[in-house]
Every structure is written in C-alpha cells, then in structure tokens.
Amino acid sequence: MWNFLGDFTLGPPGTYYYTKSTHKIYFWNMFDQLLVRPDLLNSFSNDDLMIITSTDDISLLNRNGFPNKKEYSDHLPICFKLNI
C-alpha cells in the first residue's frame, strides 16, 4: 500500500485527502489498506490492487482531483483480487 503513495500508481497517491491549517500536513493519506497474510502472498499480485476513482459513468473525484466527499465519500475505495 505504501507504493500507492506516489511511486506505484497512475491515479491518486492515496485514498484520503486531508487539509487543515496545522504545522505539518502531508495531504494524501493511505488509511484504507489491504493486509495479506503470508500464506496468501503467492495468490496476490500488485497488478491486481487498485484505488478506485470512478465507475463506468461516475467519477468519485471532484474537479480538483480529490475524493468528492460532498456527493460520495471522503475516502476512495480499493479493489483487489486473490487468485485462490
């Protein structure tokens, strides 16, 4: 999941965008995560994990590219596949 914070994704660099006027803000966060037990690691591929930003006809992002919390949610969902 750490890879999604910038170096492994073409989409948003996290599932939650947070902005407040405090001393140190990192903006994008990865609160939503997938944990895979060691016995299932061979059934998982990084290519089968993604942050969902839209459905067929609905964008979950606002016009600034952040989660559209007014209409949907402040978190973006994740999707994964296990080949078991």
Closest CA to 77 of 21, 26, 58: 58
pLDDT digit string (tens) for 4-31? Answer: 655 666 777 777 777 766 666 667 777 7
The answer to whether residue 56 scores a pLDDT higher than 70 is yes
- Whole-angstrom CA distances from 59 to 14, 22, 52, 56 are 16, 30, 9, 8
> Residue 25 sits in which domain range?
1-84
Give me the number of domains the chain comprises.
1
Using a cut of 0.95, tell me whether the model's pTM lies above it: no
